[in-house]
Every structure is written in structure tokens, then in C-alpha cells.
Structure 1
Amino acid sequence: MKKSKFSFLLILTLVFSLILSACSGGDNKAGDEKPEDGEGTTGETANVPQELRMLDSSAIPTMDSVLAEGSTSFTYINNVGEGLYRLDQNHKPVPALADGEPQISDDNLVYTFKLIDSKWSNGEPVTAHDFVFAWQRAIDPKTASPYGPYMMGGKIKGAEAITEAGAAGKPYDVTTLGVKAIDDKTLEVTLEKPIAYWQDLFAFPTFYPQNQKFVEEKGEAFASNAENLLYNGPFVMETWESTDAEEWVLTKNPNYHNADQVKLEKITVNVVKDSNSAVNAFEAGETDMTGLLSSDLVPAYEGDERMLSWMEATVFWIKMNQKNEALANVNIRKAIAMGFNKEDLAASILNNGSVAANYFVPKDFVTLDGEDFREKHGDLIEFNAEEAKKYWETGLKELGVDKLELRYLGGDTEAAKKTDAYIKNQLETNLPGLTINLESVPFAVRLERDNAMDYDLQFAGWGPDYGNALSFTDLWITDGGSNRMGYSNEKYDQLIKDAQGKLATDEKAQWEAQQEAERIMLEEDAGLAPVYQRAANILLNPNVKGLAIYNYGPDYSFQWVTIEGEE
């Protein structure tokens, strides 16, 4: 989801924000220069209840770190769990359960970590064996982890071979994965090849530990509710009944090794999908923070210090399932990708600072020697109704039909329905003979159907998982864990393989390979239909200080939040 998904981390001095990227306060517009980082604890907190009330737009799909794949899950898992590293207040990965930096072999492939003393919420120690168990579980094809193969494949030694064997129905051995417990406090990790962003990797929730005894005792009930989970992070789930829960409560974890840093005692989260209802709750003093505001509400809060606006490193697009015969046709894909006015969508429908995206690697995400990744190719696939119609007619002729009917899988939130209805209208207007059937479903259902490739067109988005363009470019390799739309191009695959392998330590060459891969995927193949890069707006109680917001991986951390009294 984190997505973004996708800008730097801010610890706000006056306010905080939500979702995947850095933010700017007051009446700043998305994309404006952002305020300086700060600790955000200038007021008095004595005698002020350290309780945060907040709204989220969706339920939590899963709290199992091995099965999680969306930003909502990753965010809460990040706040109740911890791995070898975690992102700090300055958006830097720092040792967490790792006792300082690891010992690294001369070839940069073998990492030996010593672990600090830490406990699970049941009082048992966190050990190196917990990491081994969790990582092996994540890569085991029987587990069907959506992120295990994606995050480990080509990175952790043996991961790719295990995944390939499982997919082919051949025998495999998860113990061949490059992770080993030398003893309770020593973990050895072997990489497939040198990785520049290894610290970001080991801060990601997929690499968190799990207690084998607890997981196996719980069986299918594991992670089904708060009682069937263990915690080793700043907070614990006090209440969370299931993936359908409309409310959940986090409380401070007294067993956390850095518990003295955590001031917040309680976080109550309620699911509110309707933006108007969220604003009404905020104005009535029933919540400290709304979810994202719908575009019709943004103008009313222009200049209001309580509204925060920021650009995310998150890009939304339309996935085209190329298992569908029609969508396997490049001319049909080009017609769809060019057939809707994304500039008008961003300006009139979203109206929140989001910008049209003619790319899938976002702007203002990564730079090299002061140059943004986007500067070389810029826009790769733009709206052009006339060209779209030409491609459409050619594609229909090649298919031997004069009309097409496609299922469009979208979200069930207010904002999602508006966006999907607009795109449906645009495509049906600009591509004669096209009928689109909208299917609006909850986020968890959309994830299930994406995994099963049960759609024709799907509106989706992505926020980066680590601070490298590879977090976007390696999504579309053939049979990649997050591809799930049947896109395949040998030249693309080779460029990304080179970027991850022989070019991994040559940043300029790695960039150029990825930039060419993006050009091929969009300009030549129209493998994806980019829509927009998201800006976000929320309402926030100014008494809430110090939330850390990340532009990749989990959206934010509550670890340093305080609630201050009225000035």
C-alpha cells in the first residue's frame, strides 16, 4: 500500500500526519517546501491523558507479519512489533533488536548480528531462532506469503530456489534459506548478492521474528485476534477482534526494551470510510485525527492550521490482467492507458494536490547527485484521446471483435468510487464499444482477488518498501510476487536483474538500467496504466506531537507521540 507510498520523514514540531510519506503543515500545499524536523514536544504533558483517538479508512486485513501485504497491516504490525532494525525519528534505519551494527564478511554477503535482551509480551525472550522460524515460514510456498518471496527473492540466499521449486511442485527445503541461528543471541544472514539498502530491508515487517512455539500452538487461530498474537514492539493490541473489526485499541507495552521512550498509553482506532462522517467526528471533538479528506472537503479547510497537506511517494495505476486475451493485446492496453484524462481527474475529481502520473516511479522519491529519478524520461504515457481511439480500433480488429466488456475491480471508499466512476466514463466515452462493469469491494477482498488474479482491470497503488527505485521497478519482473497481472518482457527482466546484481554497487548504472526498464514497460508495452501520484490531506488536533511519518515501509510510528495540554 506503503503503500507510499510513495520526500523524507518528519517529526513534526506542531502537528503530525498519516500515510506513507512526509507532510507539510498549516496552509502549505502538497509539494511545497516542508517544515524542519523536530522533536515536537514543546508543550506541557503533565496531567494530560496520553491517549490518542484516530480514524482509519479500512479494517486491518491481517496482523500476521508473514502474511501482511498492505500499508494498513504493516503500519500496525510496525507499532506492535520490531525486527533487527527500525526506522527512527529521522527516517533512518537504526539497530533495534540488533545489538549495534553486524559483522560483515569481506564479500558483503554474510552478516552476523548479535541480539539485545528483549522479551515477547508473554515474557519469553526473543531469540535468533525466532527470526529463523519467521523467515523460513515467510518463504515456504505452503504459507503463500505474498511478501516473503517478493522481499527475499534474489536478496536472501536460497529464497528464489525455494519459491521456484514450490511453484513447480518439486521438493524444497526451507532450511536452505540463508538465515541461521548460531546460538540464542547470534543470527547469521547470507545474501544472494551485495545489497546497498540492506538496513532498510531488515527494518521491514516481513523480516520481523515470530515465536515458533506460540505460532504452532495457536495453529489456524494465530493472528486471528488480539489474544492470539505476541508482541515485542512499543505497543500491544489490547483489543482487536478480527479482520472485520471496526475498532481496535493499542496500549503501551511494558515489556518493550525501550518502554521508557514511549509516552503514549493508549491509541483507539475507529474505521470510518466516509470522509464527511470523519470530519463531523473531528469537529465534534470525538477524534484527534481524520483519515484522508475527500476532495470536496479540502477547499473548506484552506488556510486552516488543522489541515495538513503533503505529497506522497505513492503512485496509483490501473493494472491490466494480461491473462485476459483482450488485455494481452498491446494495442488494447495502449488505448486504455491513454484513454482517460488523468490531469482532469487530479484537478477536478481528486482536487487535493495529487498530480497526474505518466510514470510508475514517483517524483521526489530518490535522487542521485541532485538529480531526480524522473528527470531523464519524465512523462512516458500521457492522455491522448485521438491516439487512444486509433490503438483501440487496431486492437479490436486484431481480436476480430467490435466491442469488449471488462470487469473493473475498485475500492469501496467514497473517494475510490468517485475515481472509478470517472475512469469508467472516460474510457467508455473515448473507446467506442467498451463496457466496464465496476466492482467496488473492501480493501481486504481486493487483496484476495489480486492474489488470485480475479479481475480484468484493477485500480491499485503502491508505496515503496525501501529507499530505492527498485521498490517499484522490480514489481513487474516476470512471475514476480507482486506482478499478478501476467506482464512479461525479457528485456525488462534482464535490466532489473542487472540492477539488482552486477550493477548493484554502481548507482549511476543501476539507475540507467531501471530508467530504461520503466521506459520499455510503459512506452513500448503499456504494461500498466499510471493514473496519479497521491497527495494527502487530513485534519489533526494540534495538541498531538511527534508522530514519525515514513515515505516507505510502514506509514508511521507512535513511539515518540505525546499529547500536550491546551496552551
Structure 2
Amino acid sequence: MKNSKFSLLLVLTLVLSIFLAACGGKDTDKSSGTKDEGEKTTKTESAQEIKVLDSSEIPTMDTVLAEGSTSFTYINNVGEGLYRLDQEGKAVPALADGEPTTNEDKTVYTFKLRDAKWSNGEPVTAQDFVFAWQRAIDPKTASPYGPYMMNGKIKGAQEITNAAAKKKDYDLNTLGVVAKDDKTLEVTLEKAFPYAADVFAFPTFYPQNEKFVTEKGDKYASNAENMIYNGPFTMTAWDGPAGAEWVLEKNDTYWDADSVSLKKITVNVVKDSGAQVNAFESGDTDVTGLLSSDLVPTYEGDERMFSELSASVFWLKMNQKNDALKNLNIRKAIAQGFNKDDLAASILNNASVPANYMVPQNFVNLDGVDFREKNGDLITYNLEEAQKAWKAGLKELGVDKLTIRYLGGDTEASKKIDSYMKNQLEKNLPGLTVDLESVPFAVRLERDNSMDYDLQAAGWGPDYGDAISFADLWVTDGGSNRMAYSNKKYDKLIKDAQTELATDPKANFEALQEAERILLQDDYAIAPIYQRAENFLINPKVKNIATYQYGPDYCYKWVTVE
């Protein structure tokens, strides 16, 4: 899920002017009162406001249409579901009033909802969940995440998807979510699985107010004026997907408002990492986006830099709609044909590590043993083998050269990585021309959905704390596949892991490890590049930003300003 979040002088001028105008300068922790003669100025409680920089715009705030980390992060801050990730990243009851009751085989969950309100004063009801989940699975909505998150998990979801694919009638009321009354929600699963709470905490499963959504129609969630909220904050300013600034303010109608100290969060989009750092050093922002690799060494050991190895893995997707990329040897050559160790050390240089795998290290384990231990490194840089496969692939295709489009990002960091990859592949695979196309994140999502690319630099942050969050990406015709990959043996392993092996941890692990081996060593379906380390600057007075290994990136619910 989690894909990466002007002239320099122009950017800095814009950033400074916006922040100074909107936030009245940077003396936010001093009293604004005057001092009497002979009286010293005294400090009052710091203003509970922060200024944040992001490197990408928000593509959508509609929970059922969202699919990128930026959308999910801000949806999580203005919305809430049955569960929410707490400060330690554990899913805990939120709109659910305590843990649900279940039947004996844990396939039927009955939730009692707490008293909670939408920002327009209306109560949050069980029917709001039914409406949102049905809307997410309805093929007419074209939700990119609804089928992906529900098929194989929520009873009836797969049948709805299959019927629509065959152009047959379907009934949304067959989805396993029922409002027994305003405060009672019953959810039926296809089969019990251990990470159900993580799933219920994910933004795709948030409720929506049917009356409000219906009245707004196509305008719903198109900007701040066309949304309502049930989470810690409301969005008081946002002009829509093209908007480069948005404002969140405390939601006084939130059921847990007493836990929220922040009054205001102002976010501005600045894609240049150097400009973000300059704004931070001048005191005009409190939190930056992710730092580019050239800036990380400067802050090594600085208490203001937050740094950790995340669970996000980046790879090249190879679209097998392209005749050349249908060829196993061509894919093998590309996957082995770039020096990812050099990329991590010289280009990234930010504690990110080379990825020779799909499921990240230090993410999930069984009895203290990391998932990675059995499979280890599956695809490494091997120039000799890459060139051998390349030569064989060209011969099989009956050509001596190829031109392949490479879909990349438009941020500073993305451009550096993509340029390196283009150089490596063209240098190491004679006869290959890589046409690099750098586009904004929202455009890349659109082109991924329409499969309008050959190679694509993409990344994935898990949606819940289980290896299946990576493994089920590549099932045949899966909602996130979008590269025409298909392997029946792989599909069976994933289905088994989701059904009969879901409650057998050892067998489940082994099935997913074998699926990963097939995907990479047998099929070279994707070309892993690196596992990302996240580094950003944060003002020391800003405390308790929650960062997550899966789901949304950050939560500001518990943030305080000292």
C-alpha cells in the first residue's frame, strides 16, 4: 500500500510566506500578552499547533477509493473504524465498545458500537458500516481496495466480485455485514484468521454516512467542504487532489476528544527535500517529509531526526501485457541486472537495505524466528547470469534490442533512484533502451490501475501485520496485481494460507514462504530493489507522533507540543 509520500528559491519563498501568513511566525510557545512595568515576561502553555511538510498531494479522501499511503494517513486522522492502531501500533477497539463477541469458530463477530457522532452531529450507526462496506465491494464503485481487502475475508465478497466479472446480477445484501440495530453490527468471515483486528482497523473498513454521501453525489470527498468526520480531527481546508495545502483541526465531537491535545495541523506539499530541511531549520515547519539520501548523513546522531527501518519494500513491477516482459529470461535479466547494494549504499545512503525478497525482514516472525530466515536472499545482483538470460531472451524473441517504458515518480528521491535504475539496466543489458517517464503519484496510481506501463517503480507497505499482506498482491486477477502475472500453484498456496491454513501458524508460514520462492526464483515476476528506512526531522517539542509498520503511516491523535 504504502508508496512514497519549483526552483529552490521559489519553493522556499512560497513555504515561508504560507507558514508566516497562516501561523503568525514561529514564536508559538510564548505568551502573546503584554508585560506590566517591572514584570518579567512569562511563558504560557505552548500553542497546540504544528506545521507539517509532505512530498505528495492527497489523491482522495474517500475511504472506499483510497489506495495510497498519503490518503490512508490523513483519512486515519479524520476518521475511525471499529478498531484503531494505538501508539504502539496494536489494533484496539475504537468505535467498537470493547471487544466483540464471536461464535465458536470465530467466523461471526458481533460488535456493540459506542456512542459516537459525525461532525454534523448525527450518530454513527451500524448501518453506516453496512453502507460503506457494500459501497467498497460494489463493482460499480470501482474501489481499488474494496475487493482486495474483502475477497476471501468477508463472506460473500468474492461471489459479488465473480458475478460482476461474468456480467451476472449480484446482491450487495449477501455481503457478510448486517446492522442488527443502530448499535449492533454483525460481521461474518469466510474463515477465521488471526489478524482480523488489523483488518477492521484499516481505513477501507471505516463507516460512511449514507445520507451525506448520497446527497453529495460525485462531489463527496472532493474537497474539505464535501466531507464529514468521526475521527480525532476535521479537515477544515483542502481544495481536492490538486491542493498543495490542507488543514486539520481538533474534532470536538469526537468520542475520545479528551485524548486529543492538538488544536491544528497545517500541511504543505513541498517535493524538494532540501527546501523542506531549510524550512525546518528556519523554524517554519515542525515535521518534514522523508529526507533524501544526501541529507541523512548531515543529521546522523541529531536528536531531531527520527530514523527506523520500515516494513515497506520497493520493487520493479514487470507488466506481462508487454510481449517482451512475458518472456521469463527477459524478466530474469532485469531482476538480476542492477546493483542494489550500490544503490542502497551510494544513492539511498539512508539506512535502507538491499531487498532480495518480497516479505520484509523484521516484520513478522513465528516463535521468535523471522519469516526471512528460511528463504533468505532470493534474487541478488548477478551480472553474469543477467547477461546470459538477456541474450537468451532476445534470441527467443527474435530481436537484438528492446525499448521498454519505465514509469517512475516525480519527487527528488524517486528521480535519483529511477535515473540510477535506467543507467544500470541500459549499461548491463546491451541493446536495452529505457524510456523514463516521471509522473506525480496520483498519475502513477491511475496508470497502474489501467496497466499503462512496462516497468514500474513501486513499493508496498503492509496493510496488516501478516506476511499475507504482501503475498496476496500477486494472485491471478487480484485487485493489486495489475501486471498480468498468473501462476496456478502460487494462487493455490495463497488460497490455502487464507483458508485451511489460516489458523495453523507453522503451515501458514511455510505456504507463504513457498509462494514467495515461486514468485521470485521460479517466475521472476517482480524485481525487488530495497527495504526502506524512513528518516524525517521533527521538532523536539513535538511529542508522541505514532508511526506504524502497516496501515496508515502516522497518527497525530496523541501529539502534544511542549
TM-score per shorter chain, which class? over 0.9
- Please identify, of 106-115 and 438-447, the stretch whose mean Cα deviation from structure 2 is larger: 106-115
CA distance in 1, matches of 2:264, 2:44: 16
Instruction: Give the Å deviation of 1:309.
Output: 1.6
Q: What residue number does 1:138 align with?
A: 136
Q: Which residue is equivalent to 2:431? A: 433
Q: Which one of 506, 511, 521 corresponds to residue 513 of structure 1? A: 511
1:291 Cα offset (Å): 1.0
**Residue 341 of structure 2 is aligned to residue 343 of structure 1:** yes
Q: Where do 5+ consecutive residues of structure 2 fail to align? A: 6-41
Q: Distance in 1 between matches of 2:424 and 2:328?
A: 20
Measure the CA separation in 2 of the matches of 1:323 and 1:3: 23
**Which one has more relative contact order, counting CA pairs under 8 Å at least 6 apart?**
1
Q: How does 1:143-158 map to 2 (within 5 A)?
A: 143-158=141-156
Q: Deviations over 1:90-122 (max 9, x none)?
A: 221111111111110112111111111110000
Q: Secondary structure at the match of 1:376?
A: helix
Taking the TM superposition and a 5 Å limit, the aligned residue runs for 1:362-401 are 362-401=360-399
Structure whose alpha-carbon radius of gyration is higher? 2
SS at match of 1:285: coil
**Retained in 1: the 8 A contact 2:119–2:251?**
yes
* 2:192 aligned residue: 194
Could you report, residue by residue, the CA deviation over 1:135-181 in whole angstroms, capped at 9, with x for unpaired residues?
A: 00000000000000000000000101111111222211111100011
| Bigger mean CA offset, 163-172 vs 51-60 | 163-172
Q: Helix, strand or coil: the match of 1:526? A: coil
Long gaps (5+) in structure 1: 6-43
2:270 counterpart residue number: 272
Q: What is the match of residue 442 of structure 1? A: 440
Cα deviation, residue 299, structure 1: 1.8
* Structure 2 counterpart of 1:57, from 55, 59, 70: 55
Partner secondary structure for residue 325 of structure 2: coil
**Code of the aligned partner of 1:197:** Y
Of 471, 474, 480, 1:473 maps to: 471
When residues 402 and 4 of structure 1 are mapped into structure 2, their CA distance, relative to the original with a 3 A threshold, is closer
- What is the aligned-residue RMSD (CA, Å)? 1.2
Q: Return the alpha-carbon distance in structure 2 between the equivalents of residues 87 and 296 of structure 1.
A: 32
Partner of 2:78: 80
What is the CA–CA distance in structure 2 between the aligned matches of 1:283 and 1:193, rounded to whole Å? 52
Q: C-alpha separation between the residues in 2 aligned to 1:46 and 1:62?
A: 38
Map 1:251-330 to 2 at 5 A: 251-330=249-328
AA of the residue aligned to 1:125: P
Q: Identify the range of structure 1 (269-278 vs 302-311) with the bigger mean alpha-carbon deviation.
A: 302-311
Deviates more, 1:298-307 or 1:138-147: 298-307
Say which SS state the counterpart of residue 437 (structure 1) adopts: strand
Please name the residue that 1:170 is paired with.
168
Residue in 2 that maps onto 1:32: none
Find the residue that maps to 1:52 and give its secondary structure.
strand
Alignment partner of 1:487: what SS? coil
CA distance in 2, matches of 1:276, 1:102: 48
1:333 aligns with 2:331: yes
Q: CA deviation at 1:355?
A: 0.6
CA contact (8 A) 1:155 1:192 kept: yes
- Does 2:227 correspond to 1:226? no
Is the 2:353–2:532 Cα contact (8 Å) retained in structure 1?
yes
Q: Which amino acid aligns with 1:239?
A: A
- Alpha-carbon distance in structure 2 between the residues aligned to 1:367 and 1:456: 34
Give the Cα–Cα distance (whole angstroms) in 2 for the partners of residues 47 and 280 of structure 1.
Answer: 27
Partner Cα separation in structure 2 for residue 303 and residue 217 of structure 1: 53
Q: What's the counterpart of residue 35 of structure 1?
A: none
Q: Distance in 2 between matches of 1:129 and 1:456?
A: 42
Q: Distance in 2 between matches of 1:247 and 1:470?
A: 35
1:553 aligns with: 551
Maintained 8 Å contact 2:3/2:458? no
Picking from 213, 216, 223, the partner of 1:215 is 213
The aligned runs of 1:27-46 (5 Å cut-off) are none
How many equivalent pairs are there? 526
Question: Where does residue 354 of structure 1 map in the other structure?
Answer: 352
Partner of 1:2: 2
Q: Distance in 2 between matches of 1:194 and 1:305?
A: 44
TM-superposition CA deviations, 1:339-361 (whole Å, max 9, x none)? 00000000000111111000010
Contact 1:55 1:270 in 2 (8 A): yes
Q: 1: distance between equivalents of 2:260 and 2:3? A: 26
Whichever residue aligns with residue 475 of structure 1, its letter is: L
Question: Relative to 1, partners in 2 of residues 1:408 and 1:4: Cα closer, same or farther, differing over 3 Å?
Answer: closer
1:250-281 deviations in Å (ceiling 9; x for gaps): 00001000001100000000001001100110
Aligned equivalent of 2:542: 544
Partner of 1:348, secondary structure, is helix
SS at match of 1:344: helix
SS in 2 for 1:278: helix
- Identify the residue that residue 157 of structure 2 maps to in structure 1: 159
Question: Conserved in 2, the CA contact under 8 Å of 1:45 and 1:562?
Answer: no
Q: Measure, in 2, the Cα distance between the counterparts of 1:103 and 1:302.
A: 48
Q: 1:538, 1:546 → 2: CA distance?
A: 15
Q: 1:386 Cα shift? A: 1.0
Distance in structure 2 (CA, Å) of the matches to 1:428 and 1:541: 42
TM-superposed CA distance for 1:308, in Å, is 2.0
Say if 1:225 and 1:241, in contact at 8 Å, map to a contact too: yes
Pair 311,506 (structure 1): closer, same or farther in 2 beyond 3 Å: same
Task: Please give the alpha-carbon distance, in whole angstroms, between the structure 2 residues aligned to 1:45 and 1:551.
Answer: 37
- The equivalent position to 2:497 in structure 1, one of 496, 499, 502, is 499
3-state DSSP of counterpart to 1:169? coil
Q: Name 2:14's counterpart in structure 1.
A: none
Deviation, structure 1 residue 3: 5.1
- Aligned residue type for 1:281: A
**Which shifted more, 521-530 or 88-97?**
88-97
Amino acid of the structure 1 residue aligned with 2:402: L
Alignment partner of 1:99: what SS? coil
Match of 1:27 in 2: none
Q: C-alpha separation between the residues in 1 aligned to 2:314 and 2:474? A: 15
Match 2:413 to one of 412, 415, 440: 415
With over 3 angstroms needed to count, the CA separation of the structure-2 counterparts of 1:461 and 1:360, relative to structure 1, is: same
Query: What is the Cα deviation at residue 2 of structure 1?
Result: 3.0
How big is the shift at 1:4?
A: 9.4
Work out the CA distance in 2 between the residues paired with 1:254 and 1:75.
20
Deviation at 1:388, TM superposition (A): 0.4
**Alpha-carbon deviation of 1:303?**
2.3
SS at match of 1:327: helix
SS at match of 1:415: helix
Moved more, 93-102 or 218-227: 93-102
In the alignment, which of 121, 124, 133 is matched to residue 123 of structure 1?
121
The answer to whether the 8 A contact 1:3-1:464 is kept is no
Q: Which moved more, 1:444-453 or 1:161-170?
A: 161-170
SS at match of 1:97: coil
Contact 1:204 1:553 in 2 (8 A): yes
Query: Which residue type is aligned with residue 2 of structure 1?
Result: K
Report the TM-score, using the length of structure 2 for normalisation. Answer: 0.92
SS at match of 2:97: coil
The separation in 1 between residues aligned to 2:2 and 2:428, in whole angstroms, is: 32
| Structure-2 residue corresponding to 1:14 | none
